[in-house]
Amino acid sequence: MNKDSAKAEIDRLIFEINRYNDLYYMESKSEISDYDFDLLLVELQKLETQFPEFAYDYSPTKRIGGGITKKLDAVVHRFPMLSLSNTYSEDEIIEWENRLKKNSEGKLEYVCELKYDGVAIGIQYENGILKQAVTRGDGTKGENVTANVRTIRTVPLQLKGDFPSDFEIRGELFFPLKKFHELNEQRIDIGEEEFANPRNTASGTLKLQDSKIVSERGLDSYLYGLYGYDLPLEGHYESVLKAQEWGFKIPDPKNNLMIKTDSINGIMDFIHYWDKNRSKLPFEIDGIVIKVNDYLQQQELGFTAKSPRWAIAYKFKTERVETVLESVSYQVGRTGAITPVANLKPVQLGGTTVKRASLYNSDQIQKLNLHINDIVQVEKGGEIIPKIVGVNKDKSDQSNLKIEFIDKCPECYTPLKRIEGEVHHYCPNELLCPPQIKGRIEHFIGRKAMNIDGLGAETVDVLVEKRLINSYADLYSLTFDQVVNLERMADKSADNLIKGLEASKNIPFERVLFALGIRYVGETVAKKLAKGFKSIDNIQKATFDELVNVDEIGEKIAISVQQFFLNEKNSEIIHKLKNAGIQFSLKEKEGTTDRLKGLIFVVSGVFKTFSRDELKEAIETNGGKNASSISSKTNYVLAGENMGPAKLKKASDLGVQIISEDDFIDMLK
């Protein structure tokens, strides 16, 4: 394919992929299957690799992420990002509106919007292309998070229509509640502490060094504030609607996410509606924002030192209720982590009946100094998880039985252990404790692991209770006759289960590694280990130093991996899975060689011809290994522009050879 043909095909693919992306994320419509969409994306990636001069910044392949940003640069805002004055009082909203009437000429119109509980962002576009994305920071300057914002599907990389040549749009990036729940479930699966709330998690995600992880987490956006010198319209409401035509996801008035009104009654109706209905939203809000619509009137009203006079935020009060703490029970997770749960006298909170609340760990119980029949104060943490935030001492009887954290597993009565530096207590009886057995099997069969059709949690419970299985390896010994005799299992269901088990033998190694349920080995870490060692045997034999030399594998993960394989029972399970035909090695890609066999590389800096990920892949494809830090075992540092001086000095001190991108290409010839 010549350059002209390649450019035309790349332009076509970008247009098609962006169109499908807009339909899916903006209009909830799908005209193409996920598989076919991924094929288009792969085709585009191949062409961009072959013709890097056409790998545009607005290409949808930039949403996949993969670049590493070691430091977030500070950027001065062209237009200060001032915060809004807040109030919890409707009377103060009325006073604010009266002041505006006295200080402004002409009839006032107001725009009411939701106050999203996320991260404020300002995104600059030049000639319709996303140029830069900056957090609020201190209002004068923020952090450059452009690489991470490019991965967010609802932020357009290229605009359409009659947009201004240079402008900034502001809004909020947030974590959808469904994605937040999924992320916490993944963390629980690998024995990590849950994230506290979507807002802080969104903020932390936006500052991650690896944009690929940001892409996988699924942040969302609403963009609604236009800033520039030649904006085409005279009012905020009209500008937001215009921005929708250019490709932005806005708070759509059709869904009552934004209204324009000319009265205090209209403002109050909007406040009351969302105070009552906010729990139905798929994301968090903590109030309502009211703005004067007309830009000239905004200028006329002006600013205080900290905030605009023409806008105000009404914040909802966090709903708190009191109820009786009846008892505390304890849950055992897949990794053996013990989670205390408060059992409460049922009470209405945020539109739902609350009967239980998480107590997180023993430290929380001790901090609250809980007793049976205490009158406890309950809130919904981040509008999601009920939590006990205090005790009404005046109404509680401190002579009642004090809650003491258990010292034995509630399921198998094994004495609990607490690892130094960790918040959880653990049941160490991992191979005989029933919830741990069932939890590991449920993790193994999950959609992101072995994805076994016809097998769910209820069936796992029955199989374990009937003693047909005691580990996930036993699944592959099940016969049709054993399964079909189970309760509520017909011939077809049994047949689907056996076929699902057979099909899972084709699941690739990195997902098998994740499915094993090694503590701290989530999806990303499993991929890194699989790429770094190529097979389960190599991982099993790996030394501590070899493990930590793999990119993103720290000491805690390395120790956990070694402990897993030192356990004889786990080795037996791996042996059974091997005999069943499970994939325990990476399938070699076409074009693999051993030219770099035994050589360890550290890739650092910015490169002209290839991205860092492409260079790392080339190293692995040709038998070499990537390391994240320079050590005496490093053979080469592959250095691009802007390589950090600390790495340069360390390589020189250790006598590690530094090579250029061209030198590396010559090594492969």
Enumerate the active-site residues.
Answer: 115
632 by Cβ neighbours in 10 Å (0-12 / 13-18 / 19+) ranks as exposed
Query: What are the helix (H) ranges across 218-339?
Result: 236-246, 264-277, 295-301
Beta bridge partners of 603: 638
Yes or no: say if 21 and 34 are a contact pair by the CB < 8 Å rule: no
* Secondary structure letter of residue 475 according to DSSP: G
Are 48 and 126 in contact by the 8 Å Cβ rule? The answer is no
What whole-number distance in Å separates Cα of residue 53 and Cα of residue 74? 29
614 burial level (CB within 10 Å; 0-12, 13-18, 19+): middle
Q: How far apart are CA 635 and CA 596, in angstroms?
A: 10
The C-alpha angle 309, 310, 312, rounded to 5 degrees, equals 80
Strand order across the beta sheet in which 129-135 lies: 129-135, 119-126, 166-174, 220-227
Of the candidates 380, 305, 367, 309, the residue with the CA atom closest to the CA atom of residue 340? 367
Nearest-angstrom CA–CA distance, 365 and 387: 12
Task: Give the total residue count for the chain.
Answer: 669
Nearest to 249 by CA among 164, 158, 156: 156
- CA 522 from chain centre, in angstroms, equals 13
315, 87 Cβ separation under 8 angstroms: yes
Tell me the chain's radius of gyration from C-alpha atoms. Answer: 28
Tokens of 423: 């918040």
